[in-house]
Amino acid sequence: MRYEMMLPHQIRKAIAENWPVVLPLGVLEYHGEHMAVGMDTLAVVKMLELLEKEQPIVILPAFYYGAASYAVEKPEGNGSVQVEGSRLAPFAEDLFFSLLRIGFRNIHAIIHHQTENFAAGMPTDLAFRTAGRQAIFRFLEKEHGEGWWGNAASANYYADHAAGANPFNWVQVHPLMSPEIFAKYPFDHAGQGETSLMLALCPEAVETHRVGENTGWYTASAKDAGADLGAKGAAMVLDRLRALLGR
């Protein structure tokens, strides 16, 4: 369900049944002359809409205002929007803290921007990952007071972890694509891989006849894009989302 369309009784049901609550997290960034600037975020939104056909899930309004950077192109006339990670983190912490206050304990953000080396991280995902941790600490201290971890009530903390009750799993940030998918599907920026994915998921975000107007090296492979290849990538991503968010 779209969170903004939910009534309180539906929110209470989603909490009681521990539905995944998912933030599509991304940026607005120049993706060549042939593709929409929202590509990275649109890919997440469209994939979550496919997952929603199969299982209960809460989809939060997408956050498009991450740190696109100006690495690809300057913004003037090109469209990239850059918000520093240091400014994203306070917003994200309040967002996650609010979701914990509401009662959600199965919160996720999914990102498809600068995710090729996710363990090390990039500004947008690092800001949201840090924010998730901070929000959980803040929430636990509010609920249980300072010293909550050292308290006798937490004596079974590690045993409870082993049983799957780790509170630091309440908020998780994941890349849309895993290293296993990168090994089988072209990873690029506005090239064959991303353009194909958009042709499969959101064709209105691509004007194929403009591929020839591109001058950036990173778009050279876009001429080989096709919806069939994109559908293969989408199927792999859907499998991954089932594994991450399946119930």
Binding site for Zn ion (CB under 5 A): 39-40, 194
Work out how close the CB of 198 gets to Zn ion at its nearest, in angstroms, rounded to a whole number: 9
Give the nearer residue to Zn ion in terms of CB position, either 39 or 241: 39
The torsion of the CA quartet 113, 182, 34, 223, rounded to 10 degrees, works out to 160
DSSP assignment string, 30-46: ---TTB-TTHHHHHHHH
Query: By three-state DSSP, how is residue 105 classified?
Result: coil
Residue nearest to Zn ion (CB): 40
Cα separation, 205 vs 138, whole angstroms = 40
Give the nearer residue to Zn ion in terms of CB position, either 11 or 39: 39
Work out how close the CB of 92 gets to Zn ion at its nearest, in angstroms, rounded to a whole number: 20
Work out how close the CB of 201 gets to Zn ion at its nearest, in angstroms, rounded to a whole number: 13
Number of H helices, E strands in the chain: 8, 4
Contact 195, 229 (CB under 8 A): no
Work out how close the CB of 65 gets to Zn ion at its nearest, in angstroms, rounded to a whole number: 15
Give the nearer residue to Zn ion in terms of CB position, either 39 or 57: 39
Give the nearer residue to Zn ion in terms of CB position, either 40 or 125: 40
